[in-house]
């Protein structure tokens, strides 16, 4: 039996740091060779798709362990699927 993929591609991500971390806790982008270190009030934004609409392997990322302190973040994920499939537009202004 073939399993359906549950991978959800987010077109864009806005990542907001809500706390300082004393040690550790970076968000690493290994294919780009960089990391975003947690600092309260800082933010990062990136695109997860290429212009063709295909997923970009370059933005593969992961959270490094927090060694000391705690890490609080908020994310705003902009997805490729929206309301247009749930509530379609009509052909006239009255629909």
The residue range of the domain holding 53 is 10-79
Residue 15: DSSP 8-state: E
CATH of the domain at 32: 2.60.120.620
Instruction: Give 23-86 as a DSSP string.
Output: EE--EEETTTTEEE---TT-EEEEE-B-TTSPBPGGG--EEPPEEES---EEEEEEES--GGGT
Establish if 93 belongs to a structural domain.
no
Per-residue pLDDT of the chain (95 residues; tens, 9 = 90+): 555 555 556 778 899 999 999 999 999 999 999 999 999 999 999 888 887 778 888 888 999 999 999 999 998 888 766 555 555 666 666 65
Q: What is the pLDDT of residue 16?
A: 92
Establish if 91 belongs to a structural domain.
no
Q: What is the pLDDT of residue 87?
A: 57
How many domains, in total, are found in the chain? 1
Query: Residue 43 and residue 74: Cα distance in Å, rounded?
Result: 9
> CA-based angle 69:73:75, to the nearest 5?
165
Establish if 1 belongs to a structural domain.
no
């Amino acid at each position: 039996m073939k399993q359906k993929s549950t991978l959800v591609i987010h077109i864009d991500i806005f990542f907001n740091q809500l706390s300082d971390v004393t040690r550790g806790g970076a968000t690493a982008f290994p294919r780009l060779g960089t990391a975003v270190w947690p600092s309260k009030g800082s933010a990062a934004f990136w695109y997860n798709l290429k212009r063709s609409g295909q997923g970009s392997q370059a933005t593969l990322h992961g959270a490094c362990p927090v060694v000391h302190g705690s890490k609080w973040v908020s994310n705003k994920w902009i997805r490729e699927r929206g309301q247009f499939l749930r509530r379609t537009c009509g052909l006239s202004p009255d629909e």
